[in-house]
């Protein structure tokens, strides 16, 4: 009698015949999937909307699609095209309760509904006529594929793109050579009342269980850099310090582009980003002046600084508004999966901007991304390089800078 | 004093004399001997009914004669009765615990992470240490053999380790697994060196032994030294990889130091 373990392993070995078989199976599955798609009505949405039940079925008119998925049909189709290859290369066996196999569009619709509504798996399952576990699996698959296929929508700008970004920032309130606005928000998590010692680290200063999301935003409210996964108990300044962006900047590998002269013959101004008083004042990160007896130029700088960094607050507020799964609806989420959900929501946020989706124009421009959270204040430490830069900028903005 | 019949029968079955001055307390806890000269831990048990002579010499002799099985049976019986009636006498339970201790020590095992009792105790230990500001010893080396650091890491690993998945678009991999743990009143971070979060200890151990055979020990030592240097160096970029979660006071210090450093 041969070894049992060996026998089991042999079964797992992939033989050439099996490769051919698998190829045939996948080809057959792909053709089945294509056939299933062919069986659909000419417009997928016509058939899909008829299958909706409950509250979702009551929405009527052309706005029904947008109200359901928070994106236009054009953006939806683009997202489908992004994930199509992966979804079809490994055909799934996800089925509706009726036994009908879910098409690519069905799966994308389910995942998007889950992300944008934040409704429970049961609610979405009931609305779309499928099991809640199917909703969960389909959503997670979508997240994994989006991470792989849509990353190019969230990246630090190239030199050419940075020129445009600087120009747009300057147009807001005149800050020259500004490359981004940084802010931090808290992604709330529902949690049980019984908190063990490991959970206490997730409890932030407002006594909520949360995960932090640090984002650097461009003037179009596009995320250019995100950092998430850390517990909510971390202070903003510490989140920054632990981020890769901070390290790159300290090493001079980021925000090291073109410098400008404010006046002819004056000292050059390097690239920088702006953030609120929760962040430390650094040579590449300018924060507002703190204190009461501020000079006119300092007050003027603070005003402009506030107006400019509003893009970051609005971007985070819109992110949470559009993708409600980030509003603390998830009940005791897997803390390893939540950052990936956050990332995909940020990617979707950027896709909407990149595709110039009209849906975003209809959304209210709120800047309250962390309601109920007090402003954190990082101890102000006077620092020659950064304070000199800030002083020169404030003088420049108030028109009193001399070379 | 009137005694119940069942107690008499119990006395008889255990070979104890039925005396008028011997009450239930005496049976449950024979150590409550009024004679202060007697040895408290000796147990007067015999198969035959003999008058109880509280002499230490005769007791010790009987102890030697009595098989240990009977002693343990008596212990169990005593323990059960004590728990049933909640006598309020902690000495009874303590005695049973004391009996267990030598058994554990005679067969020593390396401290296991999965030990439930120890986890509970260590939690208390950690909390106390933090309250007193003593801090907790933590083995800083990561990715090494699991057997060596186990003793030092146990208290923190059991209770305060929090695994997190970090998404950072400024890093090459974007996604890293890290472990946050507490050292005293300072939270620290170390990177998960393994690919998967759930890697068994055994697998690590095997890898380590192979490395040892291939003179990998020297390499490891070098790695450890480098790590120590990093930790002892002033707060630079390399250090923050490991120490990022600080108390407010320490954070202020760090910020100040950083600011000073970056000032030219």
Mutate to test the interface with B, among A147, A241, A389 (most CBs of B within 10 A): A241
Q: What is the four-CA torsion angle of A264, A266, A269, A274, rounded to 10 degrees? A: -100
A283/B contact by beta carbon, under 8 A: yes
Tell me the pLDDT band of B21, cut-offs 50, 70 and 90.
Answer: low
Mean confidence (pLDDT) of chain A = 84
Q: What percent of chain A stands above pLDDT 90?
A: 52
Band (A352; pLDDT cuts 50, 70, 90) = very high
Rounded to whole angstroms, what are the CA distances from A83 to A23, A105, B106?
20, 10, 62
B262–A343 CB contact, under 8 Å = no
C-alpha distances out from residue A196 to A200, A243, A254, A304, B125, Å: 7, 27, 40, 45, 16
From the centroid of its chain, how far is CA A313? 13
Interface membership of A32 toward B (CB under 8 Å): no
DSSP per position, A129-172: TS-HHHHHHHHHHHHHHHHHHSGGGS----HHHHHHHHHHHHHH
A129-156 mean pLDDT: 94
pLDDT of residue B4: 62
DSSP A398: T
Residues of B within 8 A of A201 (CB-CB) are 162, 180, 187
Question: Cβ contact (<8 Å) for A227 and B251?
Answer: no
Joined tokens for residue A289: 């002046």
Give the separation between CA A231 and CA B121, rounded to whole angstroms: 26
Q: How sure is the predictor about A96, in pLDDT bands with cuts at 50, 70 and 90?
A: confident
Cα–Cα distance, A207 to A233 (Å, whole number): 9
Asked if B240 and A198 come within 8 Å (Cβ–Cβ), the reply is: no
Element (H, E) at B144: none
pLDDT tens-digit series, residues A104-122: 999 999 999 999 998 889 9
Q: Is the pLDDT of residue B1 over 60?
A: no
In 3-state terms, what secondary structure has residue A207? Answer: coil
Q: What is the DSSP letter of A262?
A: S
A112 CA to centre of own chain: 14
Report for A318-322, A334-338, B23-27, B257-261: range of highest mean pLDDT: A318-322
Q: Which of A151, A214, A244 should one mutate to test binding to chain B, selecting the residue with the greatest count of B CBs within 10 A? A: A244
A201/B255 CB distance under 8 A: no
First to last CA, chain B: 92
Q: What is the value of ipTM here, to two decimals? A: 0.82
Looking up tokens 């930790």 gives B231
What is the average per-residue pLDDT within B33-48?
43
A188-192, A241-245, B69-73, B148-152: range with highest mean pLDDT = A241-245
pLDDT beyond 70 at A160: yes
Determine the pLDDT at residue B103. 59
Q: Give the closest-approach CA distance of A102 to chain B in angstroms.
A: 30
Interatomic CA distance for residues B215 and B33, integer angstroms = 64
Mean pLDDT across the stretch A323-347? 86
Q: How far apart are CA A164 and CA A157, in angstroms?
A: 10
Chain A nearest C-alpha distance from B128 (Å): 14
Taken in order A46, A48, A52, A55, the sign of the CA dihedral is negative
How far is residue B203's CA from residue B219's CA, in Å, rounded to a whole number? 19
Q: How far is residue B139's CA from residue A399's CA, in Å, rounded to a whole number?
A: 57
Sign of the dihedral defined by the CA atoms of residues A228, A229, A230, A232, in that order? positive
Give the residue among A317, A298, A302 at the shortest CA–CA distance from A392: A298
Question: In the structure encoding, which two tokens stand for residue B178, read together?
Answer: 């890290």
Contact B167 A227 (CB under 8 A): yes
**Residue range B220-235, pLDDT digits in tens:** 444 444 444 333 333 3
| The pLDDT value given to residue A59 | 67
Question: Which chain A residues are within 8 Å of B252, Cβ to Cβ?
Answer: 379
Q: What is the pLDDT of residue A76?
A: 95
Closest Cβ–Cβ partner in A248, A283, A383 for B170: A248
Closest alpha carbon to A392 in A263, A255, A279: A263
Mean pLDDT score, A64-77: 90
Whether B164 and A230 lie within 8 Å, measured CB to CB: yes
Residue B158: which of B176, B136, B142 has the closest Cα? B136
The pLDDT-based confidence of B84 (bands split at 50, 70, 90) is low
DSSP code for A255? S
Interchain contact B210–A (C-beta under 8 A): no
Interface contact B245-A378, CB threshold 8 A: no
Determine contact, residues B246/B254, Cβ cutoff 8 Å: yes
Highest average pLDDT, of A362-366, B151-155, B197-201, comes from A362-366
Residue A381 sits at the chain B interface (C-beta within 8 Å) = yes
Q: How many other CB atoms are found less than 10 A from the CB of residue A308? A: 20
Interface contact B137, partner A, CB < 8 A:
no
Whole-number mean pLDDT of chain B?
51
Q: Which residue has the tokens 């600080």?
A: B246
Residue A280 has pLDDT above 70, yes or no: yes
DSSP string, A185-202: EEEE-B--S---TTGGGG
DSSP state of A361: G
Q: Closest Cα of chain B to A145: distance in Å?
A: 15
Which chain B residue shows the shortest CA-CA distance from A251? B237
Residue B169 has pLDDT above 70, yes or no: yes
Q: Are A239 and A245 in contact (CB under 8 A)?
A: no
Angle CA(A99)–CA(A101)–CA(A103) in degrees, nearest 5? 150
pTM: 0.63
* Residue pair B235/B254 in contact by the 8 Å Cβ criterion: yes
* C-alpha to C-alpha distance for B8 and B148, rounded to whole angstroms: 57
Q: Is A201 on the interface with B (CB under 8 A)?
A: yes
Quick one: closest CA in A to B176, which residue? A229
Measured distance CA(A373)–CA(B162) in Å, rounded: 24
Give alpha helix (H) positions in B48-113: 56-65, 68-85, 90-106
Which has the minimum average pLDDT: A187-201, B156-170, B179-193? A187-201
The answer, yes or no, to whether residue A278 has pLDDT greater than 90, is yes
DSSP state of B71: H
pLDDT tens, residue by residue, B118-133: 322 233 323 333 333 3
CA–CA dist B63, B66 (Å, integer): 5
CB-CB: which of A251, A254, A342 is closest to B167?
Answer: A342
At A327, the pLDDT band (50, 70, 90 cuts) reads confident
Structure tokens at A188: 């709330």
Distance of CA A381 to the CA centre of its chain: 32
Asked if B259's CB is within 8 angstroms of A381's CB, the reply is: yes
Residue A95 vs residue B36, higher pLDDT? A95
pLDDT recorded at residue B69: 54
Residue A308: per-residue pLDDT: 96
Torsion angle in degrees (nearest 10) through CA of A356, A359, A363, A367:
-40
Greatest alpha-carbon span in chain B: 93
Q: Is the pLDDT of residue A299 over 50?
A: yes
- Residue range B72-91: average pLDDT? 63
Scan for tokens 């970004």, then name that residue: A165
Residue A55's Cβ-count burial label (10 Å; 0-12, 13-18, 19+) is: exposed
A68-82, A318-332, B23-37, B191-205: least confidently modelled range:
B191-205
pLDDT digits (tens, 9 = 90+) for A182-237: 999 999 887 655 455 567 788 888 888 899 999 999 999 999 999 999 999 888 99
Residue B197 predicted with pLDDT over 50: no
Dihedral (CA of A170, A176, A177, A179) sign: negative
């Amino acid at each position: 009698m041969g070894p049992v373990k060996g026998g089991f392993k042999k079964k797992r070995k992939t033989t050439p015949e099996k490769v051919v078989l698998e190829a045939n199976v996948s080809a057959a599955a792909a053709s089945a999937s294509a056939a299933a798609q062919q069986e659909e009505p000419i417009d997928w949405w016509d058939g899909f909307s008829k299958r909706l039940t409950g509250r979702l079925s009551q929405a009527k008119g052309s706005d029904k699609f947008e109200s359901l998925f928070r994106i236009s049909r054009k953006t939806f189709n683009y997202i489908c095209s992004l994930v199509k290859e992966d979804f079809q290369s490994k055909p799934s066996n996800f089925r509706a309760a009726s036994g009908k196999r879910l098409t690519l569009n069905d799966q994308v619709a389910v995942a998007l509904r889950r992300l944008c509504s934040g409704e429970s798996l049961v609610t979405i399952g009931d609305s779309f006529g499928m099991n809640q576990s199917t909703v969960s699996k389909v959503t997670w698959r979508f997240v994994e594929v989006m991470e792989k296929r849509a990353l190019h929508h969230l990246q630090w700008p190239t030199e050419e793109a940075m020129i445009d970004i600087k120009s747009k920032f300057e147009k807001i309130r005149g800050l020259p050579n500004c490359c981004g606005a940084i802010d931090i928000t808290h992604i709330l998590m529902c949690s049980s009342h019984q908190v063990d010692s490991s959970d206490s680290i997730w409890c932030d200063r407002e006594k909520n269980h949360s995960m932090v999301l640090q984002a650097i935003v461009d003037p179009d409210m596009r995320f250019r850099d995100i950092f998430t996964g850390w517990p909510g108990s971390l202070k903003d300044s510490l989140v920054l310090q632990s981020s890769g962006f901070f390290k790159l900047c300290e090493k001079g590998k980021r925000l090291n582009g073109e410098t400008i002269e404010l006046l002819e013959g004056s000292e050059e101004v390097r690239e920088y980003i702006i953030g609120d008083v929760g962040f430390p004042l650094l040579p590449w990160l300018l924060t507002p002046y703190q204190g009461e007896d501020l000079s006119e130029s300092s007050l003027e700088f603070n005003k402009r600084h506030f107006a400019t960094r509003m893009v970051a607050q609005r971007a985070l507020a819109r992110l949470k508004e559009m993708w409600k799964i980030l509003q603390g609806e998830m009940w005791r989420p897997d803390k390893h999966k939540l950052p990936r959900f956050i990332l995909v929501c940020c990617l979707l946020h950027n896709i909407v901007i990149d595709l110039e989706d009209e849906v975003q124009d209809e959304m209210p421009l709120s800047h309250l991304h962390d309601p109920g959270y007090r402003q954190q204040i990082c101890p102000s430490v006077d620092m020659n390089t950064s304070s000199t830069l800030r002083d020169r900028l404030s003088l420049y903005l108030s028109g009193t800078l001399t070379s | 004093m009137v005694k119940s019949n069942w107690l008499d029968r119990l006395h008889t079955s255990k070979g104890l004399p039925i005396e008028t001055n011997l009450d239930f307390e005496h049976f449950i806890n024979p150590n409550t001997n009024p004679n202060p000269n007697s040895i408290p831990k000796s147990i007067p048990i015999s198969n035959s009914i003999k008058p109880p002579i509280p002499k230490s010499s005769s007791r010790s002799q009987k102890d030697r004669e009595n098989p240990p099985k009977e002693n343990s049976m008596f212990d169990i019986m005593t323990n059960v009765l004590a728990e049933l009636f909640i006598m309020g006498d902690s000495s009874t339970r303590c005695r049973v615990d004391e009996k267990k201790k030598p058994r554990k020590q005679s067969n020593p095992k390396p401290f296991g992470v999965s030990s439930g009792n120890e986890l509970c105790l260590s939690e208390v230990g950690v909390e106390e240490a933090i309250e007193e500001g003593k801090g907790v010893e933590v083995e800083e080396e990561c990715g090494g053999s699991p057997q060596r650091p186990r003793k030092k890491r146990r208290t923190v690993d059991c209770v305060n380790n929090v695994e997190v998945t970090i998404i950072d678009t400024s890093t090459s991999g974007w996604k890293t697994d890290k472990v946050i743990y507490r050292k005293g009143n300072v939270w620290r971070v170390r990177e998960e060196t393994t690919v998967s979060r759930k890697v068994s200890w055994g697998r690590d151990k095997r890898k380590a032994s192979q490395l040892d055979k291939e003179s990998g020990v020297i390499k490891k030592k070098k790695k450890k030294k480098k790590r120590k240097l990093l930790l002892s160096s002033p707060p630079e970029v390399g250090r923050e990889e490991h120490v990022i979660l600080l108390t407010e006071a320490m954070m202020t210090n760090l910020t100040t130091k950083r600011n000073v450093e970056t000032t030219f």
